[in-house]
């Protein structure tokens, strides 16, 4: 039997070592700039640098950046250049006009198509199991170890089994301001049952509170789990996304500015019993940047972890 070609060997390796898809196409409107490339550590390192570093140590074999076409050069020359010598890097462009044949962008539509569309943009760059994370969230090394272990041990079945890394409310709320959170409902044995998007969850004691649609204030316990958009998937997801994106485009959403969101698609798939999603509780330390005021907390967290020895001061030799 002839030896495998270099391309075939690379595909085989990706099927064994999962890929990491980083959603980095956001415009940073609430932050006031391209927060994905904000320096938070020594040498101009970004949250994404630490994300990739953690993923590499956890056994991931490739990183795919989902970016906007206008930021491609900047990404390649900064974080992409720093990590390219350590693992394979691919870029997927999330285009406003990246629609199936027969569809056009509605007049006046300026909003992006959403996180599910961003994941779909990465399809051609992914050959095996993969994780999805946000570019502006620091998830902690333990989260990547947990997710990598799941993706490596995942066995095919009649119903695809995905994973979501869950964080507690107390892990993810900051002292100032309300933040959007996806509150999760799970079965007693740890399977995701429902996701409820809360647009403005604020800290209240050890947990949080929010104003419901009926105007009442509702409390959320500190131990309740939320999704921070850290997922583990199999390639079967892409077929579902393609089909459901066409359905989304045929509805009123595009003209109304509605986004095609990943949590909504996953909940729909669970409800239809087309997938099962295992919730993997994280003991890692989360922090992220939604607003400019959040940056200092991230900088202080990174500095503390470096001082503790969790990361080298020079991340990429």
Q: Is residue 139 part of a domain?
A: yes
pLDDT digits (tens, 9 = 90+) for 197-232: 888 888 888 888 988 888 899 999 999 999 999 999
Contact residues for 260 (Cβ-Cβ < 8 A; gap 6+): 113, 114, 115, 116, 117, 244, 245, 248, 253
Specify whether the CB–CB gap between 109 and 254 falls below 8 A. Answer: yes
Lowest mean pLDDT segment, chosen from 74-83, 214-223, 232-241, 258-267: 214-223
Q: Decide if pLDDT at 170 tops 80.
A: yes
Q: Is residue 2 part of a domain?
A: no
Q: Is residue 273 part of a domain?
A: yes
Q: Is residue 4 part of a domain?
A: no
Domains: count for the chain? 1
Q: Is residue 272 part of a domain?
A: yes
Three-state DSSP string of 15-42? HHCCEEEEECCCCCCCCCCCHHHCCCCH
**Rounded-to-integer distance, Cα 304 and Cα 100, Å:** 46
Question: Token pair 């409390």 is at which residue?
Answer: 219
The pLDDT value recorded for residue 272 is: 97
The pLDDT value recorded for residue 16 is: 75
- Return mean pLDDT, the chain: 90
CATH number of the domain within which 82 lies:
3.90.550.10
Torsion angle (degrees, nearest 10) of CA 243, 249, 253, 255: 170
The pLDDT value recorded for residue 12 is: 46
Residues in the chain: 317
- The domain containing residue 73 runs over which residues? 12-307
Q: Decide if pLDDT at 236 tops 70.
A: yes
Q: Is residue 317 part of a domain?
A: no
What is the mean pLDDT of the segment spanning 25-51? 90
Q: ∠292-295-298 over CA atoms, to 5°?
A: 155
Handedness of CA 2, 8, 12, 13 (dihedral sign): positive
Q: Is residue 278 part of a domain?
A: yes
Question: Token pair 């066409």 is at which residue?
Answer: 246
Q: Is residue 315 part of a domain?
A: no
What is the mean pLDDT of the segment spanning 84-93? 96
**Rounded-to-integer distance, Cα 282 and Cα 296, Å:** 23
Per cent of the chain over pLDDT 70 is 94
């Amino acid at each position: 039997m002839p030896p495998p070609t270099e391309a075939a060997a690379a595909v085989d390796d990706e099927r064994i070592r999962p890929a990491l898809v980083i959603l980095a196409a956001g415009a940073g409107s609430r932050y006031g700039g391209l927060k994905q490339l904000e320096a938070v550590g020594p040498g101009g390192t970004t949250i994404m640098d630490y994300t990739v570093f953690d993923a590499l140590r956890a056994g991931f074999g490739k990183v795919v950046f989902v970016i906007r076409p206008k930021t491609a050069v900047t990404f390649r020359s900064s974080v992409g250049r720093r990590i390219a010598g350590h693992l394979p890097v691919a870029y997927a462009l999330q285009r406003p006009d990246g629609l199936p044949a027969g569809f056009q962008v509605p007049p006046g539509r300026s909003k992006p198509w959403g996180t599910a569309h961003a994941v779909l943009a990465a399809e051609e760059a992914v050959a095996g199991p993969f994780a999805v994370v946000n570019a502006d969230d620091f998830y902690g090394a333990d989260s990547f170890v947990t997710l990598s272990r799941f993706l490596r041990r995942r066995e095919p079945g009649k119903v695809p089994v995905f994973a979501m890394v869950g964080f507690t409310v107390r892990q993810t709320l900051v002292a100032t301001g309300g933040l959007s959170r996806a509150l999760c409902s799970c079965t007693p044995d740890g399977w995701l049952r429902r996701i409820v998007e809360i647009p403005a969850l604020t800290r209240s004691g050890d947990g949080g509170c929010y104003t419901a649609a009926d105007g009442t204030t509702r409390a959320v316990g500190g131990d309740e789990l939320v999704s921070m958009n850290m997922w583990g998937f199999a390639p079967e997801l892409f077929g579902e996304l393609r089909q459901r994106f066409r359905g989304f485009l045929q509805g009123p959403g595009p003209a109304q500015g509605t986004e095609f969101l990943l949590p909504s698609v996953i909940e729909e798939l669970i409800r239809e019993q087309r997938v099962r999603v295992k919730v993997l509780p994280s003991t890692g330390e989360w922090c992220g940047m939604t607003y400019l005021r959040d940056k200092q907390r991230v900088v202080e967290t990174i500095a503390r972890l470096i001082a503790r020895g969790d990361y080298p001061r020079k991340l990429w030799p």
